[in-house]
Every structure is written in C-alpha cells, then in structure tokens.
Structure 1
Amino acid sequence: MPVVGAAAVWSLVGAAVLVQIVYPLVPDGALTPVTVTSVLLFSAASVADAARRHGARGAAVLLAVAGGGGLLAESVGLATGLPFGEYAYSGTLGAEVAGVPVVVPLAWVMMAWPALVVGRTLARGGAGVALVGGAALAVWDVFLDPQMVDAGHWTWADPSPALPLVPGVPLTNYAGWVLVSVLMVGLLHRLVGPSDGPSGPAAALYLWTYGSSVLAHGAFFGLPGSALVGGLVMGLVAVPFAVALLRRASWISPSTRVSRNPTSTSRWSR
C-alpha cells in the first residue's frame, strides 16, 4: 500500500501550480513569501510523489541526495567559488543553514525528482539517465538564476561571460549546474529503485515549469532574453519528453493499439 495516495500528491501539485499562477500578480512586497511558499509546495509534491512511487525510502533518498547534495554544493560554492562561480545571497529568502537559505536545497529537491523521471523516460542505462536527467535539471537554471538575480535574492561577483540575451549570470554557473545535476540524478537513479513508467505528477510538474517559465519571463517578469533562451534550451528536453509521453499514452490506449496478437509484427503489440 503506498505511503501517500495519488489524490494527495495531485492536491500538492495543484496547490503549487496555483501559487505560481498568483506569483506574477502579487505586489512586490509579497513576492518573497510567495516564492518561498511556491518552493515549499512544489518540493512537498515531489517528495510525496517519490513516496507514492517508492515508499518512505524513496522519499528519504530524494531528500538526502537532492536536499543534502544541493546544500553541500551550495555551501561549498559560497566558500570556494566552485563549482558555480563566486556569488552571495542577499539574505532575503529566510532562514539559512551554512549561509544557504533553506529554500535553496528544497528547490533542488523540487526539480530533481521530475528530472529523474524525464531521464528515465528518455534514456536507458545508468549513464544515459544521469546525462539526460542531469540535463533536464540543469537547463531549468536558465530560467531560475536570471529570475532570482533580477529579484535581488543573490548576486554574482563577476557575471561575465554570460549567455547571449541573459546577462547577470556567468557561464561558470551553468557548467556547475551541469556537473552537480548529472551527479545528483545519477545517484538518485541508482538509489531510489526502479519504476514501472513515468509518474504523472512529476511529468506535469516538469512540463508546467517549462511552459509557465517561458510565459512568465516573457510576459510578466520583463526578462525576454531568458524567456527566449530558456525556452529554446529547456525545450530541447521538455519537447521530446512531452512527445514521449504522448506516444506512450497512445500505445497504452486500447483504442489505438494495432494488435494484441503476440504473433503480430507491429511494434505496438510489444
């Protein structure tokens, strides 16, 4: 029997989405509490979904690897400038551990789980899942960092060279994200246990994050550069993922299967 039911997970997903819809509409003074609430709900949805699919152990692994690993990477980054580059938090995101706002490792948790699901859907084998899932996690930062820098939550000592049209965030940051993300997703894949197919809530969270980020950066945040570049870069993962989900849904629908005959040569009968 699952530790967490599907209804509870979808409720958390819905709450996280609702808060993110509200975010661009609230006054500036309320943006930080809404940001923190959004991350808390999103990360809770990811942990709950991991528990639904893999039990309490799966949820604990996600928290340890993504939360603990994210905290370690961020604290080392603050102290040494590696692997992201030299940066500093502004103290606007609430309680901190080792100089890192608590909400930051939770942000790693909230997207590491959907990224693992993306990797397992699009790739095979441990290395493939780590690379594709790591990419799925790292490309999200093309939206995250510009938004947080623009909001004043952290700053970079030397924000150049940067991506075209996305000033304020150095390329070293994205390189660090790729490194940490590949290691993180690879370890999650190894420890969390096998799955029997993509998780609906995790897929919804990933695709919602992609679509809503493009819209919000372009229409509400005044960040057209990251809307365009992030849309293209994250789209390299999100679009194939969406296509794979649609193909899978078509394959499992009885009305679209070509044949149930085990002797059929059709690929849909497998």
Structure 2
Amino acid sequence: MSTLLALVQNRPDDRQAWEAAMDQLVRQHRFTIAVVFPVVGAVLLLASAEGLLPEPLAFNPMLVLMGVLVMRSPLVVGISPVVDRKAFAGVAGLAAYAYGIEYVGIETGFPYGEFFYGVDLGPMVGGVPLALPVFFLPLVFNAYLLCLLLLGSTAERTAVRLLTVIALVLTMDVVLDPGAVALGFWRYPGGGAFYGVPLSNYAGWVLSATVAVGVVDLTFDRTALRARLESCEFALDDMVSFVLLWGGINLFYGNVVPAVVAAGIGMGLLRTDRFDASMLPWRGEQSAGR
C-alpha cells in the first residue's frame, strides 16, 4: 500500500517511467497478487456459492471485478512496454470481438451452445459483462506467452506456434468452464457431458481462440515479446493465479479432470523457471534485481 501511495504522490513523467514504477510495484507484491489473491478469491467464491456469505458480499460484482483486475496486473504490466499502435489496435479489435461473439452466443446459442449468466460479473450490457475483455483476453495472452517460453526456437514455426497456443487456450477452458458452471457463474440449460458443460462449448472455443490467437500473432512483435519475457520474471504470474483459483474450485467440487488439467498447466509453468524465491514476500526484496 505504501508503494502504491508513493506512486500516486510522485507521478512519473512519461510512459517509460510509469512502466518502471509499475514493474517495481508488481515485483514487490508478487506473492500477494499471484498467490494470496486467488486463494482468498476461491474461498470467497465458494462461500458465496454455498450460501455462507450474506447478500451484500455474496458474488459481489465489484469485489469480483477488483480481484480479477489485481490478478491481471502482472500480465498487463508485463506486456505493456511492447504495446505499440499496431498491438493496441489488435487489443481493441479483440475486445470488440469478445463482446460481439459473446452477445451472439447469448442471443442465438452460436457458437458455444445455449447459455446465460447466472451471476453478474460486474456491470452487464445486453446480458454481457462490460468487463468481458478482462476475463477473456488474458487467457489468450497467457497461453501465447507460455507457449513462446516452452516452445523455444520451435515457436518460430508458424503452424506449430499457432496450433499450440490454440490448444492451450482450449485446455485452459477445460479448467475454467466446469469450475464456473459449478459456481453458477453461467449456466447451460441443457446441461452438458463434461461436468455440466456441453461439447458445443469447446467447439465454439476452437473458433474464438483461433481468431483471437491469430490477431495477437499478427499485431504483436514476437521478438519484442520474447525480449520482455527474458527481463520480466512476473509476466506469467496471472497464470499462476488461474491455476490456483480454478484448480482449487474444481478440486472442491470433485471435478477431477479439470483439477488434474490445472495441475498440468502448473507443471508447464514450473518448467519456465520463473517462480523461484522472488515469489516469496520475505525474499522479494533480495530477488528484485533479477
């Protein structure tokens, strides 16, 4: 909190100074952002779903949104230095695409199958959360960054890169959707074969992921992303939050396959060698210069 107040009081003068200040802020609070927030978030969401929280707090949309924004901060801060005009246009286009395909999905059932939101995830417009890009786009960016690290030089082969990222986005939804359905975030009236999720949902995700991954690949400078990943050890911390939050929720509800898949994603993250003692609050200061 003191670091945040100092940042507000001593506002940096330009983009580069802002980026350096935000790097420091996230780096100093890695453990809180990537571990404490998702664990506390999972407990609050489960308590809400099980009727253990009073009405003002249960699934409070502002609490949900604020928690998600905090967990997204390492990703946003991590990639912001490489967001030029072309990349910004790509992000803006993807945000519009996310709204559009979600609205069509709610109205027509295409491409995910018939569904509706059971919980307001912040302000809703036309049945779609206003903050939808905050929920959808990080899945794509996290998958893209992780694949760049895991594939190494093989990522230079376009077909391998794109197919691997699309597959990872789909894999992340194998974790996300069953947990969200168990919480009641959204509902499929006809049910589904995979922990209440219809297979049409995953067919829809193949479409949405293919478009989104293609846009990211076309609009972001891959060389710049690689260089940023080398210097920014926290860029994938949001994916740590994803594994802890949704893996924990699936485990609680006995969704064995999604929980195991979440653990598998966690193993992939460990292979990137990005999560050493700098994640620990009592070692963060010593590791800040990594």
Distance 2:201 2:264 in 1: 19
Where 2:187 maps in the other structure, the secondary structure is strand
- Alpha carbons 2:114, 2:189 under 8 Å: kept: yes
Task: Tell me how many residue pairs correspond in the alignment.
Answer: 237
2:24 corresponds in structure 1 to 7
2:40 corresponds in structure 1 to 22
1:143 corresponds in structure 2 to 175
State the 1:209 CA deviation. 2.1
The C-alpha deviation readout for 1:32-89, integer Å capped at 9, x for no partner, is 233322222233442322213x045477346324432222221121122111111112
State the 1:140 CA deviation. 1.7
Q: 1:37 aligns with which of 58, 61, 66?
A: 66
State the 1:190 CA deviation. 1.4
1:51 corresponds in structure 2 to 80
State the 1:193 CA deviation. 1.1
Further displaced range: 119-128 or 229-238: 229-238
Letter in 2 for 1:75: Y
Question: Could you state the TM-score of these two structures normalised by the residue count of structure 2?
Answer: 0.70
Residues 1-270 of structure 1 mapped to structure 2, 5 A cutoff: 1=16, 4-5=19-20, 6-10=23-27, 14-15=32-33, 17-26=35-44, 27-28=47-48, 29=53, 30-33=57-60, 34-52=63-81, 54-57=82-85, 60-61=88-89, 63-90=91-118, 92-121=120-149, 122=151, 123-160=155-192, 162-163=193-194, 166=195, 168-194=196-222, 195-197=225-227, 198=229, 199-218=232-251, 222-225=252-255, 228-234=256-262, 238-243=266-271, 245-246=272-273
- Alpha carbons 2:115, 2:187 under 8 Å: kept: yes
State the 1:100 CA deviation. 0.4
State the 1:189 CA deviation. 1.5
User: Taking structure 1 as reference, are residues 212 and 155 closer, same or farther at Cα in structure 2, changes over 3 Å only?
Assistant: closer
- Alpha carbons 1:42, 1:110 under 8 Å: kept: no
Q: Calculate the aligned-residue CA RMSD, in Å.
A: 2.9
- Alpha carbons 2:175, 2:261 under 8 Å: kept: no
User: Taking structure 1 as reference, are residues 11 and 72 closer, same or farther at Cα in structure 2, changes over 3 Å only?
Assistant: farther
Distance 2:249 2:117 in 1: 23
Distance 1:118 1:234 in 2: 14
The C-alpha deviation readout for 1:178-218, integer Å capped at 9, x for no partner, is 22112212210210112234353232322442244323432
- Alpha carbons 2:139, 2:169 under 8 Å: kept: yes
Which residues of structure 2 form unaligned runs of 5+? 1-15, 277-290
- Alpha carbons 2:71, 2:241 under 8 Å: kept: no
User: Taking structure 1 as reference, are residues 45 and 116 closer, same or farther at Cα in structure 2, changes over 3 Å only?
Assistant: same
Question: Could you state the TM-score of these two structures normalised by the residue count of structure 1?
Answer: 0.74
Distance 1:103 1:92 in 2: 11
Distance 1:9 1:58 in 2: 26
Higher relative contact order, chain-length normalized (CA < 8 Å, sep 6+): 2
Distance 1:31 1:56 in 2: 39
- Alpha carbons 1:66, 1:184 under 8 Å: kept: yes
Which residues of structure 1 form unaligned runs of 5+? 250-270
User: Taking structure 1 as reference, are residues 237 and 179 closer, same or farther at Cα in structure 2, changes over 3 Å only?
Assistant: farther
2:7 corresponds in structure 1 to none
- Alpha carbons 2:250, 2:258 under 8 Å: kept: no
Distance 2:43 2:264 in 1: 29
Letter in 2 for 1:126: T
Identity of aligned residues (%): 24
Letter in 1 for 2:238: L
Where 2:202 maps in the other structure, the secondary structure is helix
User: Taking structure 1 as reference, are residues 46 and 232 closer, same or farther at Cα in structure 2, changes over 3 Å only?
Assistant: same
- Alpha carbons 1:119, 1:130 under 8 Å: kept: no
